[in-house]
Structure 1
């Protein structure tokens, strides 16, 4: 999807900071989030998946992991961002 593409947002909910959580669709109907997860460029963010097709996101993440693409090119992938934040929130400075 080119940088200057027109997209459609399908708002799902708000996060704890009041930001809109949405799925992003290209003009041809392609779900940008699913594409990113399948290419290994994003994780299926489990906290908000109950508002969308959870099985599709989890399936795409499993495919990316199986074929070692993107973040999954490492044996066990990389640490999920939400796990990193939780660990570093608790760490003394």
Structure 2
């Protein structure tokens, strides 16, 4: 309903039930792949521990938290770099005679 309300559409898919089925199928695929990825990340430390026979104190949940924090830090750094770039760009474009 929201797609129709705002005039959106998916090219190659008919509006209505076909669009609903298409979006449901895409969401199921994305959700399944995301779940498989999370399982792999959660089990990876235990698999490595079994292969190299060394105790690892980093569990799957800790790894997920560490990756999430690292990604957040990278996004914040990119945002700061972009803001710096735009600040420099705006300073260069000032009209002569103005401060």
Q: TM-score range by the shorter chain?
A: under 0.3
Q: Which protein is richer in helix relative to its size?
A: 2
Relative to the length of structure 1, the TM-score reads 0.23
Relative to the length of structure 2, the TM-score reads 0.22
Greater relative contact order (Cα 8 A, min sep 6): structure 1 or 2?
A: 1
